[in-house]
Structure 1
Amino acid sequence: MIGTDAAGSATNQPSMVQVVPWDGSYPWRFSAVTVIMPNNDNFYIQISSPEAGDGNTLVGVIVHSYDATWLRCYSWHKKNVYRLPNGQSCASAFVCNHADGPVSQSKVTVKVSTNTDSATLDTVVSVDDVFGKIDYGNDKQVCDESWKDMPGTGCKIRARCHGNVPGLVEKMVSGLKDLARSKDAGMFSESTVRDKKWDPCKTGRDTCIGGWDWYDRPVTKVAQQLSVYVSDENGNDKGELSYELDCSMAKSCAGCDAAKFGMAVGSVFGGPFAILFGAGGLVTEAACASSGC
């Protein structure tokens, strides 16, 4: 059994249940206890540190005849983790599994669009100028999904987000900013576009003759779309963050081009999420949201 959420309030339902006769001390004792499951799998259970508090501290082991790999046991006291067919509710004292803790660790999947092109903003902006527009409200769990103008850029941004873990949305926004700041990710960069302006007196001796003056104008190119999905190892939804840029009114929109984003996005994103979930349980994935990678 393993908890399917960070709080351990939900569990995978067991495929087999076996009653261990009470002899006054099972199974949290040094002499261990043996349990034969309905499929004749013989479990040898030893809890050596029954006094340990709930968490990721190893308190015992299980070995069984159908698998040479030992299961690691952790103290995890929860009520109503499983209901027996007769209506009785079971509580847990220890959870034993092949993982590094009693509950599922979260997985982060980062998907960066590549063939939807980069957005070209009509000025040089900072990461905070763009992603600081993401408003996730006072409860810090759900984003304001309305379009937000970015003055001077010709662009606007809309974000969508929710979080089922306290503080997750804030961490996702922080991770998004860290990703944008990483040159390896290639999703946020300064550039120039060739532009022209009319000079009414470009040439002429006695009279003004107008003409175009060409110059290089600074712009900022940003990944037009990005999505972050957070789930536990069982696929249960923990949260999501996505955004899109609309630069259809930008002067430089004609200069938009296909952007190839670096596959370092997973490792870059790992930092903020490792703080929240613990580095040992974090898996980061970088994947393309569409073809053209």
Structure 2
Amino acid sequence: MRTTTTSWSAFMAGILVSAPQSVLGQKTPNENLVLADCGIGLGVNGGSTSREMIYYPGDVWTANGQTNRPTLMVNVPWNGAYPWGPQGAFATMPNGDKWSIWLNDKIKDPNAAGDAYHSMEPDKPLKCYSYHKDKVYQLADGKWCSSAYVCNHRGSPNVLTVKPGSGGGSSGGGSGGGKDETRITASTNGDSVELYETTANSIIATVRKTFKDGSTDCDQTPIGIGSKCTIKWKCHAADSKNNALGKMAGAYDLMAARSEFSSRRESKWDICKRPDTRPGREGQCQQYETKIDHYVRLPRSIDATMDNIPPAGSGRNPNVLGWMNYEITCESSAFACTICNAIGTSMGVASGSLGAGVTLGCAAAGC
């Protein structure tokens, strides 16, 4: 081998973003996280039977005092102490969003008592308010959950996005005009992997191997993609009839075609094809042959959520139609900030064929 040369395809210096500025600044400005105690009075010594984090993409309460339906919920196991306090509470939602909450449990209603952070938008913490209200959500076993704290970006534990009397609720009418919007929002943390002799498109295409007829979930069996790596897909659709999984897979296809998403590298190796055996020239080469190896670098993981966004003033909350994520695991890999540096704050992806706007955001510590 005589020389080795490496050339990377150039990333875009600037990115044209087609998503609205409000979306780029914050993906979920109206979200609420309720920290709830469930089955109060039915637990040991009259305590609660479970503690839950309950996620709402919009309002918790309607204008008439009822509650909207949450889209995600996770149980917070009892670890020997009441979780809503200064020691911190940690849980991961079914869509992979990791939550961390720190509270001052001495603060009284309805004052700010702490902060909540989540991995899908780590630079936009929610302020948590002490707010005790009964019958916020009823579990499948009939037990009622009461709020202990409500976390959001809105300056108060209970703020309506519609005026009282306009309908409210998750299915009310309202006077807002226009049509519902379907939006697919994706995020990555900047970690990347490099794979040998493959393409980003072929790797992303593996998601369709995980679809099962009539199912709203992916087969989570890891799939080999070469370079001693596997890819594992997780996904869920609220309804098998809305083709949410197919549309989100299409969004991943569109992202894979973008230069901000992946990069290619060539390594050229000059290999001696005919060694020189003439006296006095041993160890030299009379003829070289160039061997070219191809590599692709892409994000190690991406999380995507597909939402239905009602028109402003409709009195209806956004609702999650489905979510999808993948994670690539390798025996050895080099992580880098290349992906985040290319994407920047957010990348809009042309998506007319999907009937849904697609935005890929990136947040990585130190990038």
Please report the TM-score for the alignment, with normalisation by the length of structure 1.
0.52
Match of 2:321 in 1: 238
Aligned with 1:131 (options 204, 225, 228): 204
CA displacement at 1:157 relative to structure 2: 1.0
Pick closer, same or farther for the CA change 1:161–1:247 going to 2, 3 Å: same
Residue 176 of structure 2: aligned partner: 98
Letter in 2 for 1:291: A
CA distance in 1, matches of 2:235, 2:350: 17
Distance 1:161 1:12, change over 3 A: same
2:330 alignment counterpart = 247
Of residues 214, 224, 228, the one that matches 2:300 is: 224
Equivalenced residue count is 194
Q: Does 1:120 align with 2:120?
A: no
Query: Please, which of 241, 248, 251 is the counterpart of residue 175 of structure 1?
Result: 251
Change (3 A) 1:196 1:12: farther
CA contact (8 A) 1:110 1:266 kept: no
Is the 2:184–2:248 Cα contact (8 Å) retained in structure 1? no
- Equivalence for 2:64: 15
Q: TM-score scaled to structure 2, two decimals?
A: 0.43
- Equivalent position to 1:262, from 343, 346, 352: 343
Q: How does 1:11-160 map to 2 (within 5 A)?
A: 13-15=62-64, 95-101=173-179, 105-114=181-190, 116=191, 118-125=192-199, 127=201, 129-134=202-207, 135-139=210-214, 141-151=216-226, 153-160=227-234
Letter in 1 for 2:204: F
**TM-aligned CA deviation for residue 176 of structure 1:** 0.4
User: Does the C-alpha gap of structure 1 residues 266 and 126 become closer, same or farther in structure 2, counting only changes over 3 Å?
Assistant: closer
Q: Secondary structure at the match of 2:263?
A: strand
- Kindly report structure 1 stretches of 4+ aligned residues shifted beyond 4 Å: 194-197, 199-204, 206-216, 263-266
Contact 1:201–1:208 (8 Å) recurs in 2: no
Specify which of 193, 218, 233 is matched with residue 267 of structure 2. 193
Q: Say if 1:223 and 1:270 are closer, same or farther in 2 by CA, change over 3 A.
A: same
For the Cα contact (< 8 Å) 2:254–2:351, is it kept in 1?
no
SS of the residue corresponding to residue 174 of structure 1 reads: helix
Task: Name the residue aligned to 1:271.
Answer: 352
Cα distance between partner residues in 2 of 1:147 and 1:174 = 20
Q: Pick closer, same or farther for the CA change 1:195–1:140 going to 2, 3 Å.
A: farther
Q: Which AA in structure 2 matches 1:188?
A: S
| 1:154 CA drift (Å) | 3.5
What CA distance in whole angstroms lies between the structure 2 residues aligned with 1:95 and 1:145? 39
Coordinate RMSD, CA, aligned: 4.1
Preserved CA contact (<8 Å) 1:145 1:160: yes
Question: Structure 1 counterpart of 2:297, which letter?
Answer: K
Larger-Rg structure: 1
* Percentage of matched positions with identical amino acids: 14
Separation in structure 1 between the aligned mates of residue 346 and residue 245 of structure 2, nearest angstrom: 18
Is the CA contact 1:143–1:161 (under 8 Å) kept in the aligned structure 2?
Answer: yes
CA shift, 1:289, in A, is 3.8
* Contact 1:110 1:265 (8 Å CA) reproduced: no
Q: Distance in 1 between the 2:246 and 2:320 partners?
A: 17
Amino acid at match of 2:212: G
Query: Residues of 2 paired with 1:190 and 1:202: CA distance?
Result: 32
**C-alpha deviations, 1:234-278, integer Å up to 9, x for none?**
3543211111112335xxx46x64313325964216435425xxx
Letter of the structure 1 residue corresponding to residue 296 of structure 2: T
Give the aligned residue type for 1:239.
G
